[in-house]
Amino acid sequence: MPSPLDIAKAKSHYNDRHHNFVFVFQPIASKINRAKETFKTLKELQVKEVVVNDYGMMYLALSEGFKPILGVNFTKTIKNTFVEHKIATEITKEQFKNQKELVRHLEFEIDSYREFLKSLGIGRVSIENIEFDESFLGKKPLLNIDIYYPYI
């Protein structure tokens, strides 16, 4: 996790370019005290939103008064537990198309899941740069989506 000075430098860098600064937390378990220190620094820098990648950090962000954005670790596909996985050389084009279609559907499509997230104050989620079924994007409850493109 970056030091408070590194966070301040990064925020200044983005503010100078008129960009919003959002801190992205890694999935965290054993470094909870360090995370609390980071929240203190972020409050001093008047950062309002943070990207979280696990439920523990989501709860901590909410309890510290931050607006959490769900990170890409929350992007889960809806899939049958018993999907037969085969290596590409062993499946037909039709089987491949069917498997590809399965991973296009995200849990965010489920109304009750979006309602649950909204009840926690979550209004924005990050997803991997993948092809997904976008039909749920215009349905209530609405979620804002960030598409994650890794820096190359």
Angle, alpha carbons 58-75-59 (nearest 5°): 10
Q: Are 114 and 108 in contact (CB under 8 A)?
A: yes
Query: For helices 55-63 and 32-44, what crossing angle results, to 10°?
Result: 40
Q: Which helix (H) or strand (E) covers residue 56, if one does?
A: helix 55-63
| Tens-place pLDDT, residues 25-75 | 777 766 778 888 899 999 999 999 998 988 888 889 999 999 999 888 877
Q: Are 70 and 58 in contact (CB under 8 A)?
A: yes
pLDDT of residue 43: 94
| Tens-place pLDDT, residues 95-135 | 556 555 555 667 888 888 889 989 988 888 888 766 777 77
* DSSP bridge partners of 126: 146
CA distance 65 to 63: 5
Sequence-distant (≥ 6) Cβ neighbours of residue 34 within 8 angstroms? 1
Rounded to two decimals, what is the model's pTM? 0.66
Q: Locate tokens 């929350």: which residue?
A: 74
Q: Within 13 Å of residue 62, how many CA atoms lie on the same side as its CB? A: 15
